Amino acid sequence: MVASPYSARTPEAYLQTRVDYKTEAYARKGDRYRWSYLCVASVAAVAAAAVPVLINVKDVPSIIPTLLSLLVTVLVTLEGVFHLREHWKNYDLMKSFLRQEACLFQANAGPYRRKSSDEAFVLLVERVEDAIAKERAQTIEMRTSRANDDPGKEKSETPDHAGPAAEPKEGPAR
């Protein structure tokens, strides 16, 4: 995917060249990871369920359940390495966050209420760029961390950029 040249000169240009572009990109990535995760998880579940059945069926060579067990192990390990579910959730949350920010900005609602048009635009850019930067950092962290670094530690179900509640209500002081 070629990066879109984007402009922050006007709200309309920014919404079209950055927010809409990133929203569509996150939607595509989220769909790709969603389908990958669902395929991997479904095949692993069916294969795992078939193993005990096949072990108890006469005339089934023992290699068949063994290979299915190997397949389940490989699929579960690959999901742990590629974090398909986490990427899907993060991209879907970012897509929703960007859509919500655009709607709030265009309606002069939420954090954009009672702001001049210039202040609201600067706040939009700060919030969107901050969320994109956080998502990138999380993606890099996820891709570079070893699978199950700390098996006893639960990962957070919602990323830092889950939405306006996770974002500061006002832009950073300048």
Q: Would you say the pTM of this structure is higher than 0.85? A: no
Using an 8 Å Cβ cutoff, are 132 and 22 in contact? yes
pLDDT tens per residue across all 174 residues of the chain: 555 677 889 999 999 999 999 999 999 999 999 999 999 999 999 999 999 999 999 999 999 999 999 999 999 999 999 999 999 999 999 999 999 999 999 999 999 999 999 999 999 999 999 999 999 999 999 888 764 455 444 444 444 444 443 444 343 333
- Dist CA 13 CA 6 (whole Å): 8
- Determine the longest span between alpha carbons in the chain, in angstroms: 77
3-state secondary structure of 9: coil
Using an 8 Å Cβ cutoff, are 94 and 162 in contact? no
Contacts of 93 (CB under 8 A, 6+ apart): 158, 159, 161, 162, 163
Domain ranges of the chain: 11-147+155-166
Tell me the torsion sign for CA atoms 48, 52, 53, 57. positive
- Dist CA 10 CA 110 (whole Å): 20
